[in-house]
A and B are shown apart, each in its own frame.
Chain A
Amino acid sequence: MTRILLLLTCVVLTVLPFFAGRSTLFLGMEILVIVALSQAWNLAAGYGGLLSLGHHAFVGIGGYALYALSRDLGIHVLFAVPLAGVVTGLFALAVTPILFRLRAVYFAVGMWVAAEIVRILVMRADWLGGASGLPLAGARDLPRAWMSPAAYWMALAVALGTTCLVWWLMRSEFGLRVRALRDDEVAARSIGVKPHRVRLTVFVLSATATGMAAAVSFFSTLFITPLGAFDMGWVITIVFVTVIGGMGRLSGPVLGAALYFILRESLADFGNWYLIALGVAAILTMLVLPGGLASLMDPFFNRSKTVKEQP
């Protein structure tokens, strides 16, 4: 039953561009990008225990990688999007020797500082347009009518891809290591789990997916600026969506994104009031439903593995 529903949802989402108008498609693309970004953050923070407050660094790098790759190397944007993810993953790999020396809250702040440093470097780089930003070089060659469906489909692919990746990883033998490490690091190491290798894999995969989702988002805007790309607002939205939806749960980012966009769209006429509504929703969820919205779904699934912890 659940499978049929999921399949049906995927089909409807795929054929949506044939029926929907441009503004609906743009909103759909936004939602899918936020789902993908939140799944990626959830992989690192919710499953891997790597509480990053600097994922906007990966958003910005993914976006700028798309612009640089398509301008300097003449790579078609469709191929530049996955490549932007690879560039972001490589960047993540390069910063781990320093950032992985930090733990928990120090890691969170370290990531934040790293994101600020990257933003300042980009703002000072003339090659990347400095503070005023860059236009998307390859945009002129693309057929105008296909721009928004293309962005939507790419967002759908990245959102579904990231969700499937997390689902598959957590079912695999590697997922056991990730979960064991999150539950009790000393116990995990005591049966041979190598913590560094597991965290590195999770972190790089998370960054890669983040970079790809960001590239899709900035593909649709046709212009990128350091302030928009490295905006702390990215990570705030992602954390909100994931925490409200349920950290360490696959359905968490999806449900969280749904609530986020329902609040944002229904309060759109009241200026920034939706931010206050979001804050209230966040506090209420944390008080009443510490497991997030995803924990509401538990009674509807017959899961033999449902966790019942002894007090």
Chain B
Amino acid sequence: MMLEVRGLAKAFGALTVIDDVSVTVSGGQALGVMGPNGAGKSTFFDLLTGITPADAGQVCLNGTDLSRLSTEARVRHGLVRAFQIPKPFATLTVREHLILAATAGAGLDRKAALREADNVLERTGLTGLAAQTGGSLRLLDRKRLELAKTLATRPRVILLDEISGGLTEGEVHALVDLIHSLKSPDLVILWIEHIAHALSATCDRIMMLHLGRKVIEDTPDKVTSDARVRELYLGAVPHA
């Protein structure tokens, strides 16, 4: 499994939001994506899934170019995203979400989809809420459902957009454990997060974005100790 992003770019009018970003992540690896507000992290994911069309660049999965495909076609190829603000379907039950994801996203038949749905419910700890509608869930469960939906599509690349935002410390730990358990040679993980220790614990590499450009991409230790990164997050350090 190999995700290759080459020269991805997007401008809204005169404002360049993603400027020539390239990155390669292979199966079994998790890439953390960091950056101050407005760095273009979510837009980067929008371009990867194709919900916003890119001006230039390529998104290739195992050598197949997905750049010209629609969002829903990319899902069929295994490129799936969990949204920063969870998007549950208000009138569908939790189990129906997963059945839908398994049939529409993974292309399973009804029988296999039911099995897959129960399987994912179990893995994400949502079994007890299977009959509740998406509109009636509290925040943590909405976040878990957001992740569960992407898992039920049988993803090969999973894009996690600040899924731990708004959660308590304990809840973040539970989520990190869950994501850690997903790591496998058949899955590429990209994860946007502000909580540095959560990223450091799970990710093999971290990419830092600033004003749409890639500032650094390296191991978590090197990124968190990098002077440019500290400057971006903490402000300029006066020279001694």
Using a CB–CB distance below 8 Å, which chain A residues touch chain B? Answer: 173, 176-177, 179-180, 182-184, 186-195, 304-305, 307-310
Contacts and interface: CB of A to CB of B under 8 A. Distances in A.
Nearest to B131: A304
Nearest to A187: B87
A190 B99 contact: no
B89 A184 contact: yes
B133 A305 contact: yes
A191 B100 contact: yes
Interface of B: 49, 51, 70-72, 75-76, 80-81, 83, 87-93, 96, 99-101, 103-107, 110, 113, 131, 133-137, 149-150, 152-153
B136 A190 contact: no
Given A188-B104, A309-B90, 8 more contacts: A173-B99, A184-B89, A190-B80, A191-B104, A191-B150, A192-B104, A307-B135, A310-B136
Nearest to B105: A192
A123 B101 CA distance: 49
B99 A191 contact: no
Contacts of A195: 72
B135 A191 contact: no
Q: Which of A173, A186, A190, A304 has the most CB of B within 10 A?
A: A190
B100 to A, nearest CB: 4
A192 B101 contact: yes
A182 B223 CA distance: 43
A193 B104 contact: yes
B92 A180 contact: yes
A53 to B, nearest CB: 25
Given A173-B103, A179-B91, A180-B89, A191 B133 contact: no
Contacts of B83: 187, 190
Given A187-B87, A190-B83, A179 B92 contact: yes
A152 B96 CA distance: 39
Contacts of B71: 189-190
Contacts of B106: 192
A166 to B, nearest CB: 15
13 contacts: A173-B99, A176-B103, A177-B100, A182-B91, A189-B71, A189-B75, A190-B49, A190-B83, A191-B80, A305-B131, A308-B133, A309-B133, A310-B135
A307 B75 CA distance: 28
A188 B89 contact: yes
A183 B134 CA distance: 10
Contact of B72 (A192, A304, A309): A192
B133 A179 contact: no
A185 to B, nearest CB: 10
A179 B100 CA distance: 10
Closest 8 CB pairs of A and B: A192-B105, A187-B87, A192-B75, A183-B89, A309-B135, A192-B104, A191-B101, A176-B100
Contacts of B113: 173
A192 B89 contact: no
A307 B104 contact: no
A183 B80 contact: no
Contacts of B90: 183-184, 307, 309
Contacts of A186: 51, 87
Nearest to B96: A176
Nearest to A182: B91
Given A186-B51, A308-B135, A173 B89 contact: no
Nearest to A195: B72
Nearest to A248: B91
A307 B81 CA distance: 26
Contacts of B96: 176
Contacts of A184: 87, 89-90
A310 B134 CA distance: 9
B28 to A, nearest CB: 24
Contacts of A176: 92, 96, 99-100, 103
B115 to A, nearest CB: 14
A264 to B, nearest CB: 33
B75 A190 contact: yes
Given A176-B99, A305-B93, A307-B90, A191 B136 contact: no
A64 B217 CA distance: 68
A194 B76 CA distance: 11
Contacts of B81: 190
